[in-house]
């Protein structure tokens, strides 16, 4: 029988939510609070289908979702807007899931194509992350994402422009949007430029594309970790390679349950990835748009799968290991996480 979140003891729900967490797969454009969307739309005179905050993120198909995604982002225009959305999502992560560190995606061309200067985007996001670090103790770095539906030359130009405005908090290059029509090999040049400049590399991969895209991302793009990766299960040889090489996958239960029709989290491909020995860590993807948060991801996924505290601890610590922090920082964070989890074990599990 499938366990629902409501069947989990209150103590274990609290435990899962209060675990210290790293998040490596979260798109800032998908984190706007509904009330913020309405306020920014009013500020800039942007028309929305509704100003009812309870209806802003109501959709029934992926196409409606994408339409809302674009409309929401059209409300973010000046440096203060970008600072606000970065600050608010980090605040939400801390308060709803004890977030300690995040490496957060943003899509530069979704903004520069609207006439927003690259410096406005980058500087605003970093302003907000620094304010959140000061107020809540949460740290954040940023990953610029190639938007797959852009032509390859636009992606390369984006990387060059990002590098021209690079700041220490901007640490990596990723890739998102619809994978099937625009496979990773189209963007080798953009990744070559990023790698030469010392950016770390990841990509959404085998999300709605084949397992062979995993090999492409590793061998042609030079990715050091991968986002999603569910269709890797279709090729045991690729699974074995990634298990043996310790490739980390940043997986997202709720968003993919909605988009890809895997509503039963006990049979979600993530469970099979864990069973196969792959290194996975949990994330919220586009939390407000999918009506979730990083704490809820742990409560839903780990709770419904009856995962033991030992397994949950492993998932948490795999997040630390998969991060792009320096080795000494990882070691320090791991020790702090272990101590905090030990305390939660005593307090909530007895």
Residues noted as catalytic: 207
Chain centre distance of CA 54: 23
Q: Tell me how far apart the terminal alpha carbons of the chain are, to the nearest angstrom.
A: 26
Q: Which two tokens stand for residue 139?
A: 């740290």
**3-state SS, residue 172:** strand
What separation in angstroms does the CA of 320 have from each of 140, 174, 229, 328?
Answer: 13, 19, 19, 12
Q: Are 99 and 23 in contact (CB under 8 A)?
A: yes
Q: Are 110 and 82 in contact (CB under 8 A)?
A: no
Q: Which two tokens stand for residue 24?
A: 């490596």
**3-state SS, residue 106:** strand
The CA-CA-CA angle for residues 174, 278, 256, to 5°, reads 55
Q: Which two tokens stand for residue 146?
A: 């190639």
Q: Are 279 and 322 in contact (CB under 8 A)?
A: yes
Please compute Rg for the chain using Cα positions.
19
Q: Which two tokens stand for residue 323?
A: 């991060």
Instruction: Provide the H-helix boundaries in 152-232.
Output: 152-164, 188-196, 212-216
Q: Are 317 and 331 in contact (CB under 8 A)?
A: no
Q: Are strands 200-201 and 99-106 parallel, antiparallel or unpaired?
A: unpaired
The CA-CA-CA angle for residues 40, 283, 75, to 5°, reads 10
């Amino acid at each position: 029988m499938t366990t629902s979140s409501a069947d989990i003891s209150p103590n274990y729900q609290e435990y899962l939510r209060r675990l210290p967490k790293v998040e490596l797969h979260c798109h800032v454009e998908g984190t706007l609070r509904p009330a913020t969307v309405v306020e920014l739309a009013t500020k800039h005179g942007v028309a929305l289908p509704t100003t009812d905050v309870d209806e802003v993120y109501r959709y029934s198909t992926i196409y409606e979702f994408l339409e809302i995604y674009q409309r929401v982002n059209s409300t973010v225009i000046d440096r203060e807007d970008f600072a606000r959305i970065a600050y608010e999502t980090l605040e939400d992560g801390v308060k709803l899931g004890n977030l300690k560190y995040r490496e957060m995606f943003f899509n530069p061309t979704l903004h520069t194509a609207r006439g927003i200067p690259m410096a406005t985007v980058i500087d605003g996001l970093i302003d907000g992350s620094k304010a959140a670090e000061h107020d809540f103790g949460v740290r954040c770095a940023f990953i610029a994402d190639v938007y797959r539906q852009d032509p390859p030359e636009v992606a390369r130009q984006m990387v060059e422009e990002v590098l021209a405005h690079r700041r220490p908090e901007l640490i990596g290059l990723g890739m998102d949007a619809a994978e099937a029509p625009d496979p990773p090999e189209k963007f080798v040049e953009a990744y070559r430029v990023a790698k030469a400049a010392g950016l770390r590399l990841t990509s959404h991969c085998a999300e709605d594309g084949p397992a062979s895209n995993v090999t492409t991302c590793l061998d042609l793009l030079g990715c050091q970790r991968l986002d999603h990766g569910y269709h890797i299960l279709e090729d045991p040889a690729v699974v074995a390679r990634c298990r043996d090489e310790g490739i980390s996958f940043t997986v997202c239960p709720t968003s993919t349950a909605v988009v890809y029709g895997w509503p039963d989290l006990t049979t979600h491909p993530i469970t099979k990835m864990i069973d196969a020995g792959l290194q996975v860590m949990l994330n919220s993807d586009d939390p407000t748009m999918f009506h979730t948060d990083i704490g809820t991801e742990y409560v839903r996924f780990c709770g419904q799968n009856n995962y033991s505290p030992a397994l949950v601890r492993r998932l948490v610590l795999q997040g630390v290991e998969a991060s792009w922090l320096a080795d000494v920082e990882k070691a320090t964070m791991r020790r702090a996480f272990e101590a905090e989890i030990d305390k939660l074990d005593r307090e909530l599990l007895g």
